[in-house]
Structure 1
Amino acid sequence: MHEGKPGRMTPKVLTITAQARAGALDLAWRMFRDAGFDRVVDDPAVLSLRGRLLKDEALLLAGEARRQHAREAAAAYSAAAQLAPAPYPLINAATLALIAGDMAGSRALAADVQELLQAGVTDETPYWLGATEAEALLLGGDRDAAEIALARAIGAAPLAWEDHASTLRQFGVILAEQGASAAWLDAYRPPRSLHFAGHMRLPEDVAALSDSIDALLEQERVGFGYGALAAGADLLIAERLIARGAELHVVLPGDVAAFVDRSVRPHGEGWVRRFEAALAEAASVQEMGAASPAAFMPSVRLADLVAMGRATMHAALLQSEAVQLLLGPASIDEVGQSAHAGGLWHRAGRRQHLLPLRAPATPHGTDRTALQIVSVLAVDLLGGEGEDFAALDRDVACRLPALREALRAVPPLAVRWGARRLLIAFDGAGQARDAAVRLAAALGGSGPLRQSLHIGLATAIDDPVTGAPILLGGAFDLAERMLGVTTPGATFASEAFAASLAACQADAGRAELVGEIALAGQAPTTLYALKPSLRR
């Protein structure tokens, strides 16, 4: 619903809100009750927090359970507004009343919001004032006036893409509840995100090719680009993105120096200068995989996965769309990494554009390395650092049957035990996420459970003692370190894992940004909380 200010937020309220945003809804409720907030009836911020938690639950549910939670959330927000009249709780109450099936109550509350706005009783920004007015008008059934107010709000903050997306998301919920078309919202969506890749060898007539790329970027209203910067197609597309003022996000296989030596300098110093110029314009630069020659192709595939996923996640965040541009292959059935990336994108059901080139692709050579991409699930079965090791052993032993049953449905590549932590490797991000969901369902009810997910490179070797195959690599270490900052009851994922999951699955669930967090012995790492899908 509305994302403005809920009133004066105490440190305890802020802490509980942060847990809810991190995906640990059960923990947030436990903290809410432990603080005695379930008995508070005279604090607007606490009542708004209660409404927020009930709203989060409602949006995970369907049918009568969804409506019941929405009714309770609306009542909490309404009580907050009665104590301290403000647009934030009132507009939330109005939208939740609609979700609860009370259209008359929703319209009455929406009228109260408009009266409050006309009286000037608010400290909201111009954008949120306009967005709140538009939401109230839409709830009141005046779609045309709502569109005018929405356009005015966006005009007041034309580059506030995430704020626009939040409003569009809520309008989509409202229109769905009203049984009305949401097609008119498309005109107000932020620019699209683009994943790009292609061949290194370009035809001589690059001017015509540049014109074709420009036309496509304009047609698709591309404002954000994600890809590498190899000589040829990558750099040409990146330059056209920069020329139109789009935001460029670079994802490289290995570090910058190694990438230049492998994928740029062999094609001439002119390409190196173009690479440096494009890199200087990039809004972000991310290095994936390893720099060694043996790791090159696995790193290329990993970087492509992450770039595709980041484009998809960014588009979802902005309530926009991600599209793909491949320069070179005439078909996704061709041999080569660009076509491989195109196949993944196509199988996820997303739109793509192929601009075929007559020049053949530059071969990357045969990949004979033992390195492979693995998705690692780290599980802390006890969620803490207790010192009663006998009790810990008993608790773990009690959970083993359920753990084995959960993993039987999603067979792992390898399993490694720590003192109380379990590291499980899977072939794909989807399998690792599926295993995490199954383990949470099987073990979460019997005590604290923390899980973290990361994707990276691993080497398969034979254990010198047992002779059994094992996997080694930094992906295991980072996944285990992430457990140290994972909220009990939650599943955290690295940005690389969340992006890889989004790249391969059209319905990858929800990944909510937790933030950039320092891990022990590591540089700050961007983490996401993976949240459950709709419950039935």
Structure 2
Amino acid sequence: MSSPQPSPPQETPRSRWLAQRQQLLEDGAALHVLLKKANGAGEHLLVIEIGEAALAGGKIADRVPILQQMGRALAVLGSSNEARILLGEIKTGRADDAETLGLLARVGKDLAAAAATPAERLVFLREAQQYYESGYRHAMAASDRGGAAYCGVNAAALAVLIDDVDLAHELALSTLEQAAGDDGYYGVATRAEASMILGKNADAEVLYQAAATLAAAENRWADLASTRTQCRELSLKLHGRRDHVDAAFPCGAVAVISAESLKADQTELEPELSADVERRVSEWAATHSVRSVFSGARPGWDLTVLEKLQDSGVETHLILPCTVERFVELVLMPKGAGWAERFESVRAKSVSVTILHEISTADPADGVEFTERMIAARGALLANHLGFALRALLISEQLSNTSARLWTQANLALHVIHPENPALDGAPDKDAKAEPVPFARALKPASAKPKVAVCAILLLNFPKYSAMSDDDFTRFQTDVLGIIATKLALSECPPINRQGFGGNYLLVFDQLFPAAAMALSLIEALRLQNDNAVFQPSICLHAGPVWQMINPILNLYAHEGAAITRAAALAGGLPAGVVYATETFTALSALESLRGVRFEHAGISVVDGYGDRLFRVHST
């Protein structure tokens, strides 16, 4: 019997964008199709990246479809105010089409979900329902059946939530007519939702199952997550339980992988052992319905497992500690050119490749812990967005050679594969003695380098400091530095280090939440105390590996590193009075499940030739 042939690489929105960037920037219709596909796949930051490039290029005659898709992406990311502003750029003559009105309604739904009181929630739901219904009426007048079905079913669903049952039934009946004969994903999902609203529960369950099957075949997990979320809202309202038709939706998981790299004297894996581990990984992935995987790409088990999962149709996402060129030179080539070739093949088939340090010249081995934190954080973000379980796979004979300790602290569901001891496979023994060093492979015994740790960074910059008068300095000491010192002294989770001079102050934390809470507390306290703009700081939250060392000039314990200098550079260009966080800090927040903090997309800040995507930080 011939062995099964590997499935061909699947084109992803990102791979198409990278391969056809110039052509797409000159073809508005093709670009619009790509943006819709990216939104459907959950690649919302990619939508914003592409949209920004298209609008800046000035070669797209009709900007409206681009703005619509960017607005949708921002709404999904929770940046409701920015989505409203963006959608407001659409000319008045085009602001009555179903898609724009539907997106404005979507923003209203997001605001309702974040409302502080039931009364406020009801106001936003009614506003959103009116937008959807207006979009439905306009689409009907324009004989736009797709737009009528989309806006109609959402208007009906929100009518249920605001207790207007008669209107809900009227709109649902009309929606069934408009979506009749549409066997695509949206058509089937629309009929499922309309059937549930009308009380046709058996029909609804069958149609939801059909929609889920289409979503799985077309990789539309983000679209399916949206459908499932609204289905559960309707189920709670109509049947008193959210899980009324949960069985119609496929379960799934996002996996994160931490595997032991090749040993110092090793250049290849033993073929029979490799085949056996690949089989065990495939069985584990199938058992848990793994749809997407986040991993590093070191030679050895990383690349071997990624190849196997790609052949099985699993989406892969790579997290690299440095640029591709440095990674190939320093990590792959020392083990042989064959590993570099395998890496390029895996990279080409991956849905995304995240480079953590575009400008760092540090040894990639020094960033092992940070890389694996980001692997887990990126996985957690996607799992949360899709409503999937998050599972962690460790491949090693010794847990100290993986991120077991870190991921255990994050309460991830762990499964260990011991390559040479299959009998030990399974969940790690919780009673086993903890390894004294969580990332032993990153430490070099013969090295005199300072210790590296992943930390949260809070950088305060006072942009008006250089313009202060003598009187200002006196007030600065009491009304600014005094307030900051008091907040730090009273904090239950104070920074592990603090440094500062002039108009820049650095606070280093060992966790993200205390850093975010302190930033929000400081910005509010300084705003209330001082009405003078001179005393308002810009604040940047960042995270990354930093060096712990003794400063020989000051003879004090200090933290240094590229992550800190980058935070300082960014803070210097930010407006005062607002807290901003980098994409790295925002992503890592998913791993710590921060409560009481909301991130809103704010755009890209370019400093020293490199751009960082930033998010405004709000207290909830």
TM-score by length of 1: 0.74
Q: 2:560 aligns with which of 450, 458, 472?
A: 472
Alpha carbons 1:491, 1:530 under 8 Å: kept: yes
Alpha carbons 2:394, 2:404 under 8 Å: kept: yes
1:187-206 to 2 correspondence within 5 Å?
188-189=249-250, 191-200=252-261, 205-206=273-274
Relative distance call for 1:274 and 1:68 in structure 2 (3 A) is closer
1-structure distance, mates of 2:590, 2:102: 32
Aligned with 1:369: secondary structure? coil
> Equivalent residue for 1:501?
589
> Equivalent residue for 2:204?
146
Q: 1:241 aligns with which of 309, 312, 327?
A: 309
Aligned with 1:524: secondary structure? strand
Q: 2:350 aligns with which of 282, 285, 290?
A: 282
Q: 1:345 aligns with which of 407, 415, 422?
A: 407
> Equivalent residue for 2:230?
170
> Equivalent residue for 1:524?
611
Relative distance call for 1:323 and 1:527 in structure 2 (3 A) is farther
Relative distance call for 1:52 and 1:266 in structure 2 (3 A) is closer
The offset of 1:519, in angstroms, is 1.2
Are 1:428 and 2:489 an aligned pair? Answer: no
> Equivalent residue for 2:110?
56
The offset of 1:494, in angstroms, is 2.9
> Equivalent residue for 1:453?
541
Deviations 1:292-331 (Å, cap 9, x if unpaired)?
997544401111111111111122222222211111146x
Aligned with 2:293: secondary structure? strand
Relative distance call for 1:283 and 1:13 in structure 2 (3 A) is closer
Relative distance call for 1:48 and 1:248 in structure 2 (3 A) is closer
Question: Any unmatched runs of 5+ in structure 2?
Answer: 1-38, 41-62, 90-95, 141-147, 263-268, 422-438
Q: 2:220 aligns with which of 154, 160, 177?
A: 160
Alpha carbons 2:484, 2:522 under 8 Å: kept: yes
2-structure distance, mates of 1:489, 1:21: 26
User: Larger deviation: 211-220 or 87-96?
Assistant: 87-96
Deviations 1:176-220 (Å, cap 9, x if unpaired)?
444224274365358532211222355652222221112112222
Deviations 1:233-287 (Å, cap 9, x if unpaired)?
2122112112112222222233445544554445455444433433343333333
Q: 1:137 aligns with which of 171, 180, 195?
A: 195
> Equivalent residue for 2:243?
182
Alpha carbons 1:289, 1:295 under 8 Å: kept: no
The offset of 1:353, in angstroms, is 1.5
Q: 1:250 aligns with which of 315, 318, 332?
A: 318
1-structure distance, mates of 2:479, 2:240: 49
1:35-54 to 2 correspondence within 5 Å?
none
2-structure distance, mates of 1:248, 1:196: 11
Alpha carbons 1:24, 1:490 under 8 Å: kept: no
Relative distance call for 1:498 and 1:67 in structure 2 (3 A) is closer
1:59-138 to 2 correspondence within 5 Å?
59-61=113-115, 64-65=118-119, 67-70=121-124, 72-73=126-127, 76-77=130-131, 80=134, 84=138, 86=148, 91-100=153-162, 102=163, 105=164, 107-118=165-176, 120=178, 126-138=184-196
2-structure distance, mates of 1:259, 1:445: 48
Alpha carbons 1:22, 1:490 under 8 Å: kept: no
Deviations 1:133-176 (Å, cap 9, x if unpaired)?
33333344433322333344455663222222222222233334
> Equivalent residue for 2:36?
none
The offset of 1:524, in angstroms, is 3.5
| Length, aligned pairs only | 506
Alpha carbons 2:328, 2:340 under 8 Å: kept: yes
Give the aligned residue type for 1:159: N
2-structure distance, mates of 1:279, 1:14: 27
Aligned with 2:415: secondary structure? strand
> Equivalent residue for 1:372?
453
Alpha carbons 2:498, 2:508 under 8 Å: kept: yes
1-structure distance, mates of 2:100, 2:465: 32
> Equivalent residue for 1:38?
none
Flag the structure with more relative contact order, 1 or 2, with Cα contacts below 8 A and sequence separation at least 6.
Answer: 1
Identity %: 24
Are 1:306 and 2:306 an aligned pair? Answer: no
Alpha carbons 2:136, 2:151 under 8 Å: kept: no
Q: 1:322 aligns with which of 368, 372, 390?
A: 390
Alpha carbons 1:94, 1:109 under 8 Å: kept: yes
Alpha carbons 1:249, 1:284 under 8 Å: kept: yes
2-structure distance, mates of 1:325, 1:78: 43
